[in-house]
Amino acid sequence: MRRFLRVVTRVTWPARARARRGWAAALVGAAAVALSCLDEPSGPAAVPAYLTVAPSFASATASIVPLGAANVRLTRSSGTVALDTTVSISPADSTVDLNLTVVVVQTNEVFQLTITLRDTTGAQVFTAGPLAVTPSMNPGTAPVIDASFRYVGQGAGAASVEITTSYAVIAPGDSVLFEAVVLDSSGAEIPGTPIVWTSGNQYAQVPRPDRGLVVAGEQVGQAEIIATLLTGQADTVFPFIQQQSGNVLIVSNCDACNAATLDSFSVYMPGLTFDTLTVYSAVPTLAFLQQFTTVLLYEDGIFSNAVNVGDTVAAYVASGGNVVIGTFYWQEQPEAGYNGVGWGELDALDPFQTIGGSEYNADSLDVTSVVAHPLTAGVTALYVSSYHGGVAAKEGTTVLAAWSDGVPLIGYRIETGGQRLVSVSVYPGYPYYGGFSGDFYRLWENALSWAGAAPAPRPAPLAGAPVRRSLPVSGVSSQLPRVGGSESGGRRP
């Protein structure tokens, strides 16, 4: 006797908006089965049977992949296909009804069920099965089929995900965009792979799991931002949510150098207040930089994140910010010969350009070269044992002092909006190494004070703000993803 198996299944899909709250069960169906005898004259008599399919997904936010169709296949134990049908899914659909009929050759026949979900382009994105299916005649004892969906779409074979654009510090309430790449086992990028973005705590929110847009909360603390693949691999960064204050932000790729610079500058320049930011693998936001009247930018060893930092600092200048640049900034420029990546758009704004990186010989200020100006006020002597020079003035730059060999020491340019850019061809982190004398601190105080006094509109710093460090000297940059930069150049050419 041959029988028909008529399966009436309701498939429940999560709408994308609903799915952002989580996919608890994406497919919950009751299958009504009709069994009948084909050789009876009166025709087939329906005998209902039941089953329930309870799916699960490896990722709780698999809904970032838009579904376009579902394929259901039933296969007999002999390997022949008893049923193979596809139903379309509209983005507005939350449920899809399937009415399926198959022929059964014996009572309690066992089928193998495979369900494949396709995206709106027709590509397979999730699959479950094959699963053994035997409907029950009693709805109260209907078997529950555990359908565990696995991701099989673009990037399913990825080895890792790496957050490439991160932020060490985000101002409360600020919105910033994080970015990541997906890599195969050889390190090659796999474009188009879905990445799920989530926040690990209350300090920041991620409004959409399919985009790395992070909204900082108002509470100060260390956020946790996670990028996860639908196959489980993940990467995490820990930006600080912190309100900044002070006149000057000291920026470089070296924690210890920043700390030494801040600790000494704050003693010798009591009229200024400072914070520091280490940017080896993190990028400051424009909103964060705009809290300061002046950014002091230098580096200690070239690093591949410099181009991203330079682009943001250039945007800060365009918005009215002032910048003071010091050695080893110029070793990052490709012309220096250290394989640096440059500083992006900031390279076009710097008053100096490299003529071969920084010099490593001792030198002194040429007193006869000093031009009277607030930038040179009180600067009558300067000696350094190394780490200076290696630059030439660009067209339009005003040079106010030079080294004994004629290399410019200090120069400036003023943008059309009044923003001031100052270059000083000496290493600001000398307190970290020693080997200097003369009016070192007066020179830097002049540069930072004069740049910060530009008439361009700037957010007012907090009066009497304490001298403090924005980030711990250690323990922050190490938690951020490396972006492949080398630490050559600088004092390690």
What does the pLDDT look like over 443-482, one tens digit per residue? 998 999 899 877 644 444 333 333 334 433 332 222 222 2
Tell me the three state secondary structure of residue 297.
strand
Residue 103 in this model has a pLDDT that exceeds 80: no
Residue 54 in this model has a pLDDT that exceeds 90: no
**Residue-level pLDDT at 428:** 93
**Residue-level pLDDT at 480:** 27
Question: Does 317 or 58 have the greater pLDDT score?
Answer: 317
All structural domains of the chain, each given as residue ranges with its CATH number in brackets, are 3-151 (2.60.40), 160-240 (2.60.40.1080), 244-452 (3.40.50.880)
**Residue-level pLDDT at 322:** 94
**Residue-level pLDDT at 9:** 42
**Residue-level pLDDT at 148:** 81
